[in-house]
Structures are given as C-alpha cells and as structure tokens.
Amino acid sequence: MGRPGLIGMAARTAVVAGTATAVSGSVQRHQQDKYNQQQQADAYQQQQQQAQIDAAAQQAAQQQAYLAQQQAPPPAAPAPAASVDIVAELQKLAALKEQGILDDAEFAAAKARLLA
C-alpha cells in the first residue's frame, strides 16, 4: 500500500507545480499589461507635451510677425507725378496750331488731354 501514497504525492506535486506555473504566468501577464499601459501613458504624455510645444512655437511666431509689422517703417509715399506747367503746354499747342502743324480737331483733342 505504499505505492498508492507515492502516486498521491506525485499527483499533489504535479498540482502544486501546475498551480505555481499558472500563477507565475498570470503574474507575468499582469506585469506585461502594466508595462504596456505605462508605455501608452508615456506616449500620450509625450504627444501632449509636443502639442503644447508646437502651439507655443506657433504663438511665438505670430507674435514676432505682429511685432515686426508694428515696428516696420510706413511705406514710402509714392513719388509725386511730374508737375506739368499747363500754361506753357497750352502755349506750345497754340504755337503748333498757328504754324499749321495741328488742325483745330488735333488742337482740341490735345488741349482736352492736357486739361483732364
């Protein structure tokens, strides 16, 4: 009857070993899950930090552009058009008409352009 005790003890040893293996595997899976969750949390935090850095950089660039615009000298005024001495031009046109170079219609058209 000594042999049934050995079989029982071997069975108990197998059960204990199997339970230890199952518990060990469960602990290992739990640790791996915790590690994966931590990695995801770290990645999310890095993304949030990068988004904040990008937003701050964009805001700084906008502020610099605004300040540069405020500090820029005003655009130069356009150069004044060459002043025309209307009286002198009318006298030239009259002289051309008197010399017969311009007829009445040409004189009237040139005078209208000059006075416009």
* pLDDT tens-digit series, residues 35-93: 988 999 888 898 898 888 888 888 888 888 888 877 767 666 665 555 668 889 989 99
pLDDT for 26 equals 78
Under 8 Å between Cβ of 57 and 74:
no
pLDDT for 64 equals 86
Under 8 Å between Cβ of 107 and 100:
no
For the whole model, what pTM was predicted?
A: 0.39
Under 8 Å between Cβ of 89 and 110:
no
